[in-house]
Structure 1
Amino acid sequence: MKILYISPRFEGGIGGHAFRVAEKLREQGHDVKLMKVPHIPIKKLKNPSFTMFGILKSLINREKYDVVHAWNIPSAFVMKYINADKKILSVHGVYSEQVEILHSKTTGSLASKAELMAFEISDRLTTDSKTVQKYYNEKINADFIYLPAPLDTKKFNNINEIEKKKNQVVYIGRDSYEKGIDILKKIEPRINGNVVYCTDLPWEKTMEVLKSSNILIVPSRMESLPQVIKEAFYLKIPVIATNVGGVSEIIIDHETGILIPPEDPSKMLDAINSLLIDEELQKKLLENAYNFIMKFFTWDALLPKYLNLYTH
């Protein structure tokens, strides 16, 4: 099959999800191209400029594709002008809610209208979270296919063996409001350990830091289903995360990880300091989490579902 992927970037979050799927489909013999679109690197202009430049690029693109796959709402408006037999849109999280939190209620209202327009453009809709799937179904009766982001366990073969660092807590993610990094920094002086922030390291280096840590902390205000939690599960690093978005789909409290309320510094601090000294609970969490991720989120489990999405 000839497939075109459209995304503002192909790293981190949904862009990283797209890149990993593209790599796997190429291994299966499919021709997958990534559309690279420039944008203006200013917060309020990133998405509008991406959409504008992307549409211009689509209008001059004369190629015909079996499938075009847009990886977020702005990408759908670029996808509209591509000649393809099937058009697919994937979203991580509820787009209008994210926009409202990051910008304003007025902008969030405009984003709600953009969602509806993007869904109309698409033949198929997918999301990596059952929570998001349920939200859109109940709110606007949109039919989303649940298709989680896979974990490519082979990539971990290149991660160096690294010595554990006593009482190391790691944060992995963007340095941005929705990720709650400011909340973690607020309690950092009272954490009985050392906090390491990985906000812009290469993936391999980030995984080395994760592997050397005792706890991964995910303090987000909003999420879809963070890939880094799956990575921690595979590396057998206990996870503490806020109960937002689809996090509770993979973290069963005190079974595969620890769930805490969002924007609650006190409970976050208590959870971190308690888990750092509870080696028995750490062992229970990491073993359960590893078994869970290997059963449901590897390519062995998910590749047939991706192939079915494109061929049916």
Structure 2
Amino acid sequence: MKICFITSSFPRYIGDTSAPWLLKTAKELKKMGVEVSVFAPSYNGIKQKLIDGIPIYRFRYFFKSSEKLTHEESSSARLNELKYKILIICYIFSGCLNSFFYFRKNKFDVITVHWPFPQAIFGIIGKYLTGAKLVYHFYASEMLLIRNRFIKTLFNFFMLFADHIVTISSFTENLIKNELKFKSPVSIIPFSSSLPDNIITEVSYPNENKSKILKLLFVGRLIERKGILYFLEAIKNLTERRIPVSVTIIGEGYQKELVKKFILENGLEKYIILKGEVPIPDLVNEYKECDIFVFPSITDKRGDTEGLGCVIIEALMYKKPVIASNVGGVVDIVKDNVTGFLVPEKDPLELVKKILFIRDNYDFAKQIAENGYNYVIKNFSWDVIVTKLLKVYQR
């Protein structure tokens, strides 16, 4: 079976934090004997033919220095700016032209389009040139665009060509069922951790020493949707109560300067370490060493929120207690007081209460972490995910 991934974002190098699960999905399918190729846009002019054994065709769509519509942040988040509105026109035109020549030359059994707007256009071209089955893979962020009546009309037109629809969570499934018109079957198939399998199997338990400094970990982009500023408010509250904490923040993003400013203005330098993006071995070590993993995501001012939350899966694979906001697709992973702990979004005091609850109820937290580990192994392991994907592709 030959499959083509059409996507707006795909890792540019090994260890890239831009959609690493897509590369992992391609590699897992390859293990099952599936030939996977990728059709994706360039970024700053990069020309790429192969990444970690997966063939990739990168199409150019503007001057090298301006090819930044995708990868660092979702294109839907950038379309309010004039320069990106101009870029999207060039992106669509070049993508259509390149997909025409690409699919005339390369034949596939299945074309799967990730983030279907506007990439669905390229998939439709491929479907009619190759006769391939067309699958749309929805995440959540692309659904923000349907607030525009014209784009919603286009979306509904694109849906006519889909043979199957995949969503990453029940939250995303409900979004498309409520907002779009289609007759194609829908399957919920999440993604999972992109960390190496041999590392994931090395699990560890929460630290039992309640008197020591409590180690808290945040992993994610420093953007509004991740709720990092509310987490910092919680840390400020903990330090004011003289609770000994050590906080590690891993990730980059446009709110980094705001984060630094908050830390300095509130005298939190000795409690919080900003590490930016780190190599995989360092990330693994942070998961192993932390006592609690905190995922304080919110619904941002644009209405965007978490489609799933891959880092939650990673933390649970190390049997760490997870505190997460009750938003979006997070609830497909975190079942309150069963696989983790849910708190209301944008509520630092509730974060504080839950952090202290875990500290003071270690035995219960340990059992919840164990439950979470078993749950993600059963529902979010790559064997399970790839088996579900193959059923969709072969249907």
Cα distance between partner residues in 1 of 2:354 and 2:95: 45
Number of the residue aligned with 2:122: 78
Moved more, 149-158 or 165-174: 149-158
Structure 1 residues 137 and 185: alpha-carbon distance in aligned structure 2, compared to 1, 3 A threshold? same
**Cα displacement (A) at 1:154:** 5.8
Residues 8 and 50 in structure 1, CA contact (< 8 A), matched pair in contact too: no
- Superposition pairs for residues 32-181 of structure 1, below 5 Å? 32-39=36-43, 40-41=67-68, 43-44=78-79, 45=84, 48=88, 50-61=91-102, 62=104, 63-74=106-117, 75-82=119-126, 83-84=129-130, 85-93=132-140, 95-97=142-144, 109=149, 111-142=151-182, 143-151=185-193, 155-157=197-199, 166-181=213-228
**Cα displacement (A) at 1:277:** 3.3
1:262 aligns with 2:345: yes
Cα distance between partner residues in 2 of 1:207 and 1:6: 30
Residue segments in structure 1 that go unaligned for 5+ positions in a row: none
**Cα displacement (A) at 1:50:** 4.5
Structure 1 residues 139 and 189: alpha-carbon distance in aligned structure 2, compared to 1, 3 A threshold? same
| Bigger Rg, structure 1 or 2 | 2
Cα distance between partner residues in 1 of 2:141 and 2:21: 17
Q: CA RMSD in A?
A: 2.9
Cα distance between partner residues in 2 of 1:92 and 1:194: 33
Residue segments in structure 2 that go unaligned for 5+ positions in a row: 44-66, 70-77, 252-276, 299-304
Residues 159 and 181 in structure 2, CA contact (< 8 A), matched pair in contact too: no
1:228-277 alpha-carbon deviations (Å, 9 max, x no partner) = 11111111011000111121122111111110111122212222233233
Structure 1 residues 242 and 158: alpha-carbon distance in aligned structure 2, compared to 1, 3 A threshold? closer
Cα distance between partner residues in 1 of 2:116 and 2:355: 36
Residues 68 and 79 in structure 1, CA contact (< 8 A), matched pair in contact too: yes
TM value normalised by structure 2: 0.69
- Superposition pairs for residues 201-240 of structure 1, below 5 Å? 201-221=278-298, 222-240=305-323
Residues 159 and 208 in structure 1, CA contact (< 8 A), matched pair in contact too: no
Structure 1 residues 147 and 158: alpha-carbon distance in aligned structure 2, compared to 1, 3 A threshold? closer
SS at match of 1:64: coil
**What percent of counterpart residues are identical?**
24
Structure 1 residues 238 and 114: alpha-carbon distance in aligned structure 2, compared to 1, 3 A threshold? farther
Residues 21 and 194 in structure 2, CA contact (< 8 A), matched pair in contact too: no
SS at match of 2:108: strand
Number of the residue aligned with 1:251: 334
Number of the residue aligned with 1:8: 8
Cα distance between partner residues in 2 of 1:287 and 1:162: 10
Matched pairs, number = 305
